[in-house]
Amino acid sequence: MNSVLNKLATLGVGSLTDAELLALVLDDGSSPTAAMQQAEGILASCGSLACLSKTDIARLRMIEGVGLKRASRVVAAAELGRRFMAAEADTIGSVSTSGDVARIFRPLVEGLKHEECWVLYLTNSNRIIERQRVSQGGVQGTVVDHRLIAKRALELLATQVLMVHNHPSGDAEPSEPDKVLTRRVAEALALFDIRLLDHIILSRNGEFSFRHAGLIG
C-alpha cells in the first residue's frame, strides 16, 4: 500500500486506478496485499464503479474476504461522493444547457430504484428561483399534477419551467405517459405565458431531452 500512497503523493489522486482507490478505502493496515485483492474482487463482482455505487451492503459483505466493516466503508465512501456532487450542484444558480441540468439532478436521482419528478422554476434569464420535487412514485412511473406545477410557477412569478425525472430501468426513452404529461404541462403553463423550456429524462445509460428531440415547440 505504500506504493499506492507514494503514487498519490507524487502524481495526485487522479493517477490512481479504480482498484487502488478502492484498496485505500478497504485497507485497515493489517494486509495491504489483501486490501488490493479484495478491491479487485469487488470490482470483478460488481462489474463497474457505476454498478458498485448501487450495490447494497448486504451483497457487498458476502463477497469473499470483505465482511461487514469493509462493506460499510465502501458504501460510506460511495454516499460521501454522492453528497459531494449534490453539494456542488447546490451552488449552480442558473442553467444554460442540458449538461447543467444533469449536474444538478444526477446526484439526486441516478441511484434511485423509483421514479421522481423534479421541476426547476426559472426567470427569463434562466436563473433558478426554486428547485422542487413534485412527485415520487414506483419503478415504472410516477403521478404528476400539471395544475400544481402551473400554480407554483405563478406563485413564484417564474417565466420558464424545466422538468426532470429519472428512469430506474436505465432506458432514457420517454414512455407514452411521459409524452402526455409533457404536453399537459406545456399547455397548462402556456395559458399564463409561461414556457416549458424542456423535459429531461435521466438514466444510468444516458439522457433524453424533449426539446432536442423536437417534442417541445
Tens of pLDDT, residue by residue over 9-65, are: 888 888 988 888 888 888 877 776 788 888 888 888 888 777 787 788 888 888 877
Pick the CATH number of 2-87 from 1.10.150.20, 3.90.1300.10, 3.40.50.11750, 3.40.1350.10: 1.10.150.20
The owner of cell 463482482 is: 45
**Rounded mean pLDDT of 170-190?**
94
Res 71 pLDDT > 90: no
The CATH homologous superfamily of the domain defined by 94-209: Cytidine Deaminase, domain 2 (3.40.140.10)
Least confident of 4-8, 30-34, 140-144: 140-144
**Rounded mean pLDDT of 182-199?**
96
Residue with more model confidence, 159 or 85 = 159
pLDDT of residue 77: 84
Q: Is 204 helix (H, G, I), strand (E, B) or coil?
A: coil
Q: What is the residue extent of each domain of the chain?
A: 2-87, 94-209
Mean pLDDT of the chain: 86
pLDDT of residue 148: 94
Res 153 pLDDT > 90: yes
Rounded Cα distance between 95 and 54, Å, is 28
Which of 121, 181, 182 shows the shortest CA–CA distance to 151? 121
Q: Give 192's contacts (C-beta < 8 A, 6+ positions apart).
A: 150, 153, 154
Least confident of 88-92, 113-117, 195-199: 88-92
For the entire predicted model, the pTM comes to 0.67
Highest mean pLDDT among 78-82, 99-103, 189-193: 189-193
Burial tier of 150 (Cβ tally within 10 Å: 0-12, 13-18, 19+): buried
- Summarize pLDDT for 79-97 with one digit per residue, the tens: 787 777 777 666 777 888 8
Q: Give 25's contacts (C-beta < 8 A, 6+ positions apart).
A: 39, 73, 74, 77
pLDDT of residue 19: 86
The owner of cell 493496515 is: 29
Question: Which amino acid makes up residue 113?
Answer: K
pLDDT of residue 32: 67
**Rounded mean pLDDT of 100-114?**
85
